[in-house]
Homo-oligomer: A and B are copies of this chain.
Amino acid sequence: MPTRGQQRDTSRDGFRNKVEATLLSGLKPFWGLVNVTPWLARIANRLIVNNAVMKAPCRPLALSTQASYTNWSTLSDRTWFSRYLPAVPQDRLPPVAEVATLFKLRPERPPVLSDRSSLLFPSFAQWFTDGFLMTDQDRRRTRTNHQIDLSQLYGLNPTVTAALRRRSEAAGEKGKLKSVTSGNGEWAPPLYDATGRRDPAFALVPEPTHLPGDWPIEKRAALFAFGGERANSTAYTAAIGTLFLREHNRLCTLLERNNPGWDDERVFQTARNINIVLLIKLVVEEYINHISPYWMKLLADPSASYTAPWNRENWIPVEFNLLYRWHSLVPTDVKWGAANVALAELRFDNRTLLQDGLVTAFASASQTRAWRIGMFNTTPMLDGVEMASIQQGRDNRLASYNDYREVFKYPRVTRFEQISSDPLVVSELRRIYVSVDQIEYFVGLFAEELAPRSAVPPLIGRMVGADAFSHALTNPLLSPHVYNAGTFTPAGMEVIERTSTLADLLARNDMVPAGTRISMEAEGYQSVA
């Protein structure tokens, strides 16, 4: 932790970056006014979104992880990640195990809590990015569809989707996903039966990633049949998946009632389309606003992308995949109702969720503080995952942290003290890397000190912003011929307009007791003006 009063050397933050930070993270009364003046908010939103995206090179990028020079494959074969910078030799780097010590908790430093984020923030980030960040075994290829398509719920391809659907033309059943209803609401069906065997109806649904082979039968029996291979990772990701499943089936009831002539297929497809757009709305209006240190409330206004030079088919860069390893945000223990529970107990185990219900899970995530993102702050359970991430950067022969600063319009740092004011971070970086130019990308991302009001460090924030907007707002469902009542129905458009937060979604799909706080923000924190 920084010694009180000690300051980071900001001489390499960049003049324009400083001016932007001053204008956007300051002037709170001005932005408060903008936020309540719709026409002004739309203009400001468009400027901010464009400025954020233009910090990154526009797609198409010239390279992928397939080859170190441009060829037809790097321009067309999306089973590889794209990449911002060419591969470079990794031979002068310190051992991975040594670098991994930068992430480990230290006996002399208790874990630092975030003053900004609740556990709902990293839980949503995990569940959300598991929809499009899939790394294959060799760490260079991907199975993603490169789109926000709610594959966590519906699966990566039509075969999986078909297995998860009821496919019934009966009244009240049209378009719905399979589900079971217990005393406290609707849930995805179990993936395994009570004896621990896979339900053959879900033979094509992916096996949960990293589920141990000897996982206890009673925990296994509480796992859900979700389209995403990581959707059961914790009770929190399972809760978010459940919320979107309930919303899907709720939308089906609504659509069937309003469109009596529709068949199962059309009800399903339209509910899915609306559900995807709801996710995009949450991503921009709740999640990105939580990440953003600005006082302006950013809007999911797709027209901001219609004439933008960054409106190009999405293709996930390997650097984007890696920067999302927010392991240090994850706490060791959580508040669940009145109890303290080890998060490890909620891994691949939805029994507590099934018993206490959806609201309890969301309230738990909202009242538990996330840990602060950064060095020396990863819960021991995730030490191995940090190491795998460092290794993935090397397998993909990524350029250095300083090289990536340049790509994203930050001046190169020349001293360790420009990265952090924390003496331990500075001394350990210096000991391990000797020169700032040697610091590798993955380490630099997390070594950077948080700016005031920031949920993530500067370079991560910039890269997430650029990719989030250029990825989310260019979804084909938001495009000019598609984003209309003809696609979603008038009732669907109304649902879309009414939804900005997980709390909105939860209120429609469970009984939320008055006064229950559902928020990505740590208690007492305020994101926008």
Distance between A53 CB and nearest chain B CB, rounded to angstroms:
14
**Are A75 and B476 touching (Cβ within 8 A)?**
yes
Contact: B270 with A476, CB < 8 Å? no
Within 8 Å CB of A487, what residues of B? 62, 69-70
Q: A309 contacts the other chain (Cβ, under 8 Å)?
A: yes
- The segment from A17-25, A186-194, A286-294, A477-485 found at the interface with B is A477-485
Query: Is A60 within 8 A of B273, CB to CB?
Result: no
Secondary structure type dominating chain A contacts:
loop
When C-beta atoms are compared, the residue in chain B nearest to A70 turns out to be B487
Q: A76-B476, A309-B306, A487-B70 are in contact. Are A482 and B269 (CB under 8 A)?
A: no
Among B266, B311, B313, B481, point to the contact of A62 (Cβ < 8 A): B481
**CB–CB B75/A477 < 8 A:** yes
Contact A76 B149 (CB under 8 A): yes
- A57 near B: Cβ within 8 Å? yes
Q: Does A39 contact B (CB under 8 A)?
A: no
Chain A: interface residue total (CB-CB under 8 A) = 37
Report the minimum CB–CB distance from A70 to chain B (whole Å): 4
Whole-angstrom CA separation of A70 from B71 in the bound complex: 34
| Docked CA distance A76–B58 (Å) | 21
Contact check, B147 vs A76: say whether CB atoms are below 8 A apart: yes
On chain B, the residues within 8 Å of A486 by CB distance are: 62, 70
Q: Is the CB of B61 within 8 A of A266?
A: no
Cβ contacts A9-49/B at 8 Å (1 or 0 each): 00000000000000000000000000000000000000000
Q: Which residue of B lies closest to A63 (CB)?
A: B481
Docked complex Cα distance between A491 and B313 (Å): 30
Closest chain B residue, CB of each to CB of A147: B76
Question: Are B149 and A481 touching (Cβ within 8 A)?
Answer: no
Whether A72 contacts B481 by the Cβ 8 Å rule is no
A476-B60 contact given A69-B266, A307-B309, CB 8 Å threshold: yes
Q: Which of A348-380 contact B (CB under 8 A)?
A: none
Complex Cα–Cα for A486 and B149 (A): 35
Question: Which A46-92 residues have C-beta < 8 A from chain B?
Answer: 57-58, 60-62, 67, 69-73, 75-76
A312 interface residue per 8 A CB criterion: yes
| A158 interface residue (CB < 8 Å to B) | yes
A272 to B306, CA, bound (A): 33
List which A98-140 residues lie within 8 A (CB) of chain B: none
Interface residue A391 (Cβ < 8 Å from any Cβ of B)? no
A321 interface residue per 8 A CB criterion: no
The answer, yes or no, to whether A527 is at the interface (CB within 8 Å) is no
A309 nearest in chain B by CB position: B307
State which of B147, B269, B307, B481 has its C-beta within 8 Å of the C-beta of A71: B269
**Residue A145 is within 8 A (CB to CB) of chain B in the complex:** yes
A75 to B482, Cβ gap below 8 A?
Answer: yes
Give the residues in chain B near A149, CB-CB below 8 Å.
72, 76
A520 within 8 A of B: no
Chosen A-B contacts, 5 in total, with CB atoms closer than 8 Å, are: A58-B480, A72-B149, A72-B269, A72-B276, A75-B482
The 8 closest A-B pairs by CB, nearest first: A71-B269, A75-B476, A313-B313, A70-B487, A62-B481, A60-B476, A62-B482, A60-B479
